Chain A
Amino acid sequence: SQTIHQWPATLVQPVGSPLSLECTVEGTSNPNLYWYRQAAGRGLQLLFYSVGIGQISSEVPQNLSASRPQDRQFILSSKKLLLSDSGFYLCAWSHHPGQGAGNTIYFGEGSWLTVV
């Protein structure tokens, strides 16, 4: 069965510090990968998605970046955090549409980021 792991679960970072959140998927290959952010009391905002290694698309301009160095690894980074970066970050995966395995999207347990 497929599983998704995301870490760290919580972190408190000062303004201007770097950020690295990591996500890995097990039990599948060539997944679509996603990073979402959910601010307090708000809906899910898609930040980045990837359809393959090294292929990253950004949905919103920001000081965050994403990388996919391996097929099942997705990393969210920032060189200098802003207060507005605080929120709940969720990694997710889905089967590639060409796999014919359905469209369901599955989430990691999330990372709570507080920028102080």
Chain B
Amino acid sequence: RKEVEQDPGPFNVPEGATVAFNCTYSNSASQSFFWYRQDCRKEPKLLMSVYSSGNEDGRFTAQLNRASQYISLLIRDSKLSDSATYLCVVILNSGGYQKVTFGTGTKLQVIP
């Protein structure tokens, strides 16, 4: 089983739609969780952190379920500019080193 798994997509959705991505992780000791966004041929950029209590940033909502070991990202009212690959990131601190594990990403294409 992969340490971090995501559905690669692509998810093709019309503008204005709501879309949700899920990500599962295998190490229950993992401590920090993030969603990153990667545009074509660019570096990944932090989208938002993910907390058990859930957090919202505008049209984006992230949620962590520790019991089931999955992370979700919800995008409401999709915009064309949301088209990108969304990477799930899980971090485990171990002996002064942060083991950072990326999912392979879920590709989103928002269609006019």
Interface residues, chain A, with chain B CB atoms under 8 Å away: 32, 34, 42-44, 46, 49, 51, 57, 88, 90, 92, 94, 96-98, 103-110, 112
Contact = CB atoms under 8 A, between A and B. Distances in A.
A94 B44 contact: no
A contacts with B: majority SS: strand
Interface of B: 31-32, 34, 41-46, 49, 87, 89, 91, 93, 96-98, 100, 102-105
A96 B91 contact: no
Given A90-B44, A106-B46, 5 more contacts: A34-B100, A51-B97, A105-B34, A105-B46, A107-B43
A92 B44 CA distance: 10
Contacts of B46: 104-106
A97 to B, nearest CB: 5
A44 B97 contact: no
A98 B102 contact: no
A96 B95 CA distance: 10
B107 to A, nearest CB: 10
* Residue of A44, A90, A107 contacting most chain B CB atoms (<10 Å): A44
A31 to B, nearest CB: 10
Contacts of B93: 97, 103
A51 B43 CA distance: 22
B40 to A, nearest CB: 11
B103 A97 contact: no
Given A32-B98, A97-B93, A43 B43 contact: no
Given A32-B97, A43-B104, A103 B42 contact: no
